[in-house]
Amino acid sequence: MNNNSPKTKQTILITGASSGIGKATAIYFSQKGWNVAATMRDPSKENELTGHPGIRLYKLDVTDSDSVILAFKNITNDFGKIDVLVNNAGFGADGIFEAMDDEFIRKQFETNVFGLLRMTREAMKHMRPNRSGTIVQVASVGGRVAFPLYSIYHASKWAVEGFSESLQFEAEQFNIKIKIIEPGAIKTEFYGRSRAFIKPTDTNDYDAFTAKIEKLNMETGMKGAAPETVARTIFRAVTGNSKKLRYPVAYPANILLPMKRFLPASWYYAFVRKSYGI
């Protein structure tokens, strides 16, 4: 077979590749000579990625089981096999829990949790017969610590952490690695157009609290690290020989996770309250 054939190179499938961490990861792996299956809900709107070698765009909606199955079929037809799955698709929901209805909460979990589960299940079915593969879950520092106004988002990311930690034990017998990436503040659309903020319309009781929290959250986001920082960490997790499960990336993950681990709980929560002025 021709050494330049796509089927002689390693292949990575990335969900949510239209922006942010997903797009940065697609470009980074392309630069490293990989085949990249960059998936998104509407590939017709993407112009930048097609200019990079080895990248092909695929339509994929992680909330639709048929879409997931079809995408895996198309990608394996084109590239032969999938060596790495990066579950990156997701969005940030924040606001006052009291104002969140069941439909909104389901939407958060449908994308951040059930979509990730669907993709992981299909990847396991594909990788198990090959006795090799890596599944990368893009979680969050918010999968192990919690901030005000992010209750539902945290619930979804804590679910991803627990699921992935358990899954590693059944995956490792087939030489399938599970890696959890835990970004801190990353300058992406998480703080912009993909953000879903909910506040009550029938009371002003939360207004003063919300104003304090939002100010710090947005300031932190705007000062966040570039998404390429996460892309490099994903590449290191995928290509290294470490059996490490979790990979914190950028501020405040590199500070808060050790603090929560070593400080008494009351001290840690006091630190969070003081940071927000609440």
Q: Which residue has the tokens 């979990």?
A: 109
CB atoms within 10 A of CB 247: 20
Torsion angle in degrees (nearest 10) through CA of 16, 21, 26, 27: 140
Active site residues: 153, 157
